[in-house]
Amino acid sequence: MSIHIERLAASNKAHLWHPFTQMKDYTSGEPLIIERGQGVKLYDVHGRAYYDGFSSVWLNVHGHNVPELNQAIVDQLGQVAHSTLLGMANIPAIELAEKLARIAPRGLNKVFFSDSGATGVEIAIKMAFQYWHNLGVRGKSSFITMNQAYHGDTIGAVSVGGIPLYQEVYRPLLFPSHAIPYPSAYPHNDGEASAGAMETTLNALRTLLEARSHEIAALLVEPIVQGAAGILVMPPGCLKAIAELCRQHQVLLIADEVATGFGRTGAMFACDLEAVAPDLMVVGKGLTGGYLPVAATLATDEIYNAFYADYEAQKTFFHGHSFTGNPLGCAVALASLKLFEERDVLANVRKGAALVEQKLAVLQDHPHVGDIRQKGLMIGIELVRDRTTRKAYRWEERIGVRTAMRARELGMLTRPLGNVIVFMPPLASTERELADMCDILISAIRDVTEGASSV
Ligand SMILES: *Cc1c(COP(=O)(O)O)cnc(C)c1O
């Protein structure tokens, strides 16, 4: 190792605190330090290449170091790097707001910018709450969420989340929400289980709404695919039915499209798959092609109009972030959306998704694969100790972590969700690249589970 790399590794250990990481484990190994990216690959400081098999945690769209995206940032940098949206505007923010309103599900005509998915969710929560307040409706102050939901890591976003591991410690800080079951067919995957799960969800929602809709401001949902829960896919028609129940009971629908938005599922937004038009929609991650931290909360005119009043009425939305509407971020988001059209990224996702499904079919009967879930280029492979009994691996076996490490040795990066191996390649990946990545994934799963079956 060169002196330079040794020094970086030592500083990493001494000063950098990594997210979602037990530092005691992490600092005992040799760190992976990325130096550059090109296309769908990342390169570490030793010059080793890795496929970005999880799109740098579900963000990347067109690959890394894309000339058109780089140029958009350089061009904007020659104008101004940042200027606020508090009481004034900037050119890329205006153009991006117009563009988002045009491509979003029907009715979402107003765009409020922030800088991460979690802040976008906080904004949606506050807007929904204040919407009812501004209308003079009292008591609608709580939220409905799905079990195992993930909406980000700030206190408000954790409050409407549903993953106990991320919530328990902070419980005293969280506001209570109403949770309903997520319609997951696993571990009894067949059409009947899927219909049964959907029934259970809709019945729970109907019962809750009939009893308490007068105290509920909104329902939050990750449309079609629940990401951090382990890539769980809703049965067809479920999102539409949820949306209809909310509308019937005057509860707002907030779609968290942070993970699913911008082509990931094969449609521009997952809501489009069932022609659902939410009242509020949150986007982030892929909005800038995965380049810069920009998020947005989209609202209908009806929501916006409840805040539109004489100054003295105090109906203003008193919320904002320093870097809201950052011109560099908005410029690269515009360039990314242009590439979506020029390169027909959605068609590429659908073609790629079919290929991945075909490739991964060889795992269908693998004794340690319990379930393969997929929507577009969002894939989760659930590893189990025993396929027939669906007996899970013990948590301490870290089967997911070990499989991801093996994939890294074979040249692909990903990060598991417990025992679920996540595969979310950049949307621009070619068929050749996808086939290569699938081969690595299959080998890693075989190597680790077949070697580990005696553990
Ligand atoms: C990642 C994610 C978030 C949080 O976004 P950050 O930018 O990490 O704050 C919110 N909701 C969903 C569905 C996500 O996948």
Q: Indicate the annotated binding residues for pyridoxal 5'-phosphate.
A: 117-118, 256, 321-322
Q: Which residues line ligand 1 (CB under 6 A)?
A: 116-118, 121, 150-152, 222, 227-228, 256, 258-259, 284-285
Residue ranges of the domains in the chain? 32-62+344-452, 70-342
Q: What is the mean pLDDT of residues 350-371?
A: 97
Residue 226 near residue 390, CB atoms below 8 Å: no
Q: Indicate the annotated binding residues for substrate.
A: 150, 285, 320, 415
Index of the ligand 1 atom closest to the CA of residue 285: 7
% of the chain surpassing 90 pLDDT = 94
Index of the ligand 1 atom closest to the CA of residue 117: 5
Select from 234, 258, 417 the residue to mutate for testing ligand 1; criterion: most ligand atoms less than 8 Å from CB.
258
Query: How much distance in Å is there from the Cα of 34 to the middle of ligand 1?
Result: 22
Residue 384 near residue 370, CB atoms below 8 Å: yes
Q: What is the mean pLDDT of residues 326-354?
A: 98
Query: How much distance in Å is there from the Cα of 46 to the middle of ligand 1?
Result: 31
CATH number of 32-62+344-452: 3.90.1150.10
Query: How much distance in Å is there from the Cα of 366 to the middle of ligand 1?
Result: 32
Query: How much distance in Å is there from the Cα of 259 to the middle of ligand 1?
Result: 6
Check if 32-62+344-452 and 70-342 are the same fold.
no
Using only C-alpha atoms, the chain has a radius of gyration, in whole angstroms, of: 22
Q: What is the mean pLDDT of residues 184-189?
A: 80
**What is the C-alpha to C-alpha distance for residues 455 and 444, in angstroms, rounded to an integer?**
17
Confidence band for 256, pLDDT divided at 50, 70 and 90: very high
Confidence band for 248, pLDDT divided at 50, 70 and 90: very high
Report in angstroms the alpha-carbon separations of 295 from 89, 281, 325, 376: 17, 11, 9, 22
Residue 453: what pLDDT?
A: 46
Residue 1: what pLDDT?
A: 67
Select from 125, 145, 150, 281 the residue to mutate for testing ligand 1; criterion: most ligand atoms less than 8 Å from CB.
150
Residue 455: what pLDDT?
A: 44
Mean pLDDT value across the chain? 96
Name 36's bridge partners. Answer: 43
Query: How much distance in Å is there from the Cα of 152 to the middle of ligand 1?
Result: 5
Render pLDDT for 116-136 as a digit per residue (tens, 0 to 9).
999 999 999 999 999 999 999
- Given a cut of 90, whether residue 14 has pLDDT beyond it is yes
- The residue type at 61: V
Index of the ligand 1 atom closest to the CA of residue 121: 10
**What is the C-alpha to C-alpha distance for residues 179 and 221, in angstroms, rounded to an integer?**
11
CATH number of 70-342: 3.40.640.10
Render pLDDT for 407-455 as a digit per residue (tens, 0 to 9).
999 999 999 999 999 999 999 999 999 999 999 999 999 999 998 544 4
**What is the C-alpha to C-alpha distance for residues 447 and 406, in angstroms, rounded to an integer?**
8
Helix (H) or strand (E) holding 221: strand 216-221
Residue 454: what pLDDT?
A: 45
Query: How much distance in Å is there from the Cα of 157 to the middle of ligand 1?
Result: 9
Residue 184: what pLDDT?
A: 87
Instruction: Choose among 313, 236, 307: nearest CA to 273.
Output: 236
Q: DSSP characters for 274-326?
A: GT---SEEEE-GGGGTTSS--EEEEEEHHHHHTT-S-GGG--------TTTT-
Lowest mean pLDDT among 169-173, 393-397, 439-443: 393-397
Q: Which two tokens stand for residue 377?
A: 């280029």
Other CB atoms closer than 10 Å to residue 356's CB: what's the count? 24
Residues 6 or more apart whose Cβ sits within 8 Å of residue 4: none
Query: How much distance in Å is there from the Cα of 176 to the middle of ligand 1?
Result: 20
Lowest mean pLDDT among 84-98, 143-157, 189-203, 339-353: 189-203
Nearest CA to ligand 1 atom 5: 117
Confidence band for 48, pLDDT divided at 50, 70 and 90: very high
Residue 2 phi, psi dihedral angles, 5° rounding: -70, 160
Nearest CA to ligand 1 atom 15: 259
**What is the C-alpha to C-alpha distance for residues 230 and 118, in angstroms, rounded to an integer?**
19
Q: What is the mean pLDDT of residues 29-54?
A: 97
Name 296's bridge partners. Answer: 113, 283
Query: How much distance in Å is there from the Cα of 6 to the middle of ligand 1?
Result: 33
Q: Indicate the annotated binding residues.
A: 117-118, 150, 256, 285, 320-322, 415
Instruction: Choose among 138, 139, 136, 110: nearest CA to 123.
Output: 110
- Given a cut of 90, whether residue 194 has pLDDT beyond it is no
